[in-house]
């Protein structure tokens, strides 16, 4: 019996994260360099962990109500 593989990936590209955040590609790369968007580097690729992006968005959502 095989386990069903979940369709959702664990990581996103910087471009995908930018789209999700509603910002431009260059702005997303700048935020990554400043450490504002948590990321990992594998070789030359920058990847955004979806769980970290979810937490970032949840934190922003909670501060908007304040």
Q: What percent of the chain has pLDDT over 90?
A: 71
Tell me, yes or no, if the pTM score tops 0.95.
Answer: no
Q: How many Cα neighbours within 13 Å face the side chain of 17?
A: 29
Looking at every residue in the chain, the average pLDDT score rounds to 88
Confidence grade of residue 1 (pLDDT, cut at 50, 70, 90): very low
Please list the residues that pair with 46 across neighbouring strands.
41
pLDDT score recorded for residue 4: 54
Contact 17, 48 (CB under 8 A): yes
- pLDDT over threshold 90, residue 14: yes
Residue 43 burial by CB count (10 A; 0-12/13-18/19+): exposed, middle or buried?
exposed
- pLDDT over threshold 70, residue 5: no
């Amino acid at each position: 019996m095989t386990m069903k593989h979940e369709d959702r990936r664990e990581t996103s590209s910087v471009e995908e994260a930018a789209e999700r955040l509603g910002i431009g590609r260059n702005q997303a790369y700048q935020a990554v360099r400043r450490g504002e968007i948590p990321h990992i580097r594998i070789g030359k690729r920058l990847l955004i962990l979806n769980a970290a992006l979810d937490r970032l968005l949840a934190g922003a959502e909670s501060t908007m109500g304040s």
